[in-house]
Amino acid sequence: MLDRESQLKALMLNGLDGDAQAWRVLLSDLAAHLRPFFKRRLFNGESDAEDLVQETLIAIHAKRATWDRNQSFTAWAFTIARHKLIDHLRRQGRRLTEPLDDASVLLAEHTVEDGVMRRDLTRALSILPARQRALIHDVKVTGLSVAEAAERHGYSVAAAKVSIHRSFKALTARFAAGAAGSNDED
């Protein structure tokens, strides 16, 4: 650890003198250590951690004159990283966010297209008898297997298959005709 401190310190001193190569090495080294540091402390993972790594590197760059060479370099860099982390958490606390991936279950229901489609579907299925409608809804919309849906609605599997087949026929007959009819009206 003491070795690392003196190694980083040497890079920092060269960087302060304008040595771009030393600066690149220093920042890359810090980035590699900051990444796990932030990841361990954030709830929603990777992208925020990378943002914080970059913010910290920018701060270390912009505020490099505030390092006092009589003091530990790692303590200075760590304090900046912690400041950026606290700042981030505070901002997040004010407006609590959840990653969108986890919310997709909710969001998928809310697109306009889905709404229109669901309404059409409900209307189409409404021509079927109730028990048949429930069965086909579970198989084709909810996504149960035929066996599961059959059991749920008191069909044998074979009877369920027949029922689904009949439903399709009825729907096709009704809406193929309906489509033709509406074409006529146009």
Partner 1 sequence: MKTDDLITSLALDLPPTSQSDVDRRVLLFMLPAAGVALSGVVWWLGLRPDLMSAVAGPTFWAKAAYTAALCAAGFWLLDRLGRPGASPRRPAILLAAILAVAAGWAVVELLGAAPDARMDMVMGRSARVCPTNILSLGALAAPFIFFAARRFAPVKPAFAGAAAGLLTAGLAATVYGLHCPEHTAAFVAVWYTLGVGLVAVLGAALGRFTFRW
Question: Minimum distance between the CB of residue 77 and partner 1, rounded to whole angstroms?
Answer: 8
**What is the rounded CA–CA span in Å between residue 24 and residue 5?**
17
CA 94 to chain CA centroid, Å, is 20
Indicate which single residue of 5, 10, 24, 168 sits in contact with partner 1 (rule: CB under 8 A).
24
By CB under 8 A, tell whether 41 contacts partner 1.
no
Indicate which single residue of 58, 158, 159, 176 sits in contact with partner 1 (rule: CB under 8 A).
58
Angle between helices 2-16 and 73-94 (to 10 degrees): 80
Question: Minimum distance between the CB of residue 97 and partner 1, rounded to whole angstroms?
Answer: 21
Rounded to 10 degrees, the C-alpha dihedral 26/28/33/35 comes to 140
For partner 1 (CB under 8 A), the number of binding residues is 35
Quick note: the x/- pattern for partner 1 over 76-95, rule CB under 8 A, is x-xxx--x------------
By CB under 8 A, tell whether 20 contacts partner 1.
yes
Question: Minimum distance between the CB of residue 63 and partner 1, rounded to whole angstroms?
Answer: 4
**What is the rounded CA–CA span in Å between residue 137 and residue 128?**
11
Three-class SS state of 184: helix
By CB under 8 A, tell whether 100 contacts partner 1.
no
Residue of 76, 73, 64 lying closest to 19 (CA atoms) = 64
Three-class SS state of 168: helix
**What is the rounded CA–CA span in Å between residue 51 and residue 117?**
39
By CB under 8 A, tell whether 27 contacts partner 1.
yes
By CB under 8 A, tell whether 15 contacts partner 1.
yes
By CB under 8 A, tell whether 50 contacts partner 1.
yes
Question: Minimum distance between the CB of residue 23 and partner 1, rounded to whole angstroms?
Answer: 5
Task: Report the first-to-last Cα separation within the chain, whole angstroms.
Answer: 81
101 to each of 36, 105, 168, how far by Cα in Å?
22, 8, 35
Indicate which single residue of 6, 44, 47, 66 sits in contact with partner 1 (rule: CB under 8 A).
66
Chain contacts with partner 1 (rule: CB under 8 A): 15-21, 23-24, 27-28, 31, 50, 53-54, 57-59, 61-69, 71-72, 75-76, 78-80, 83
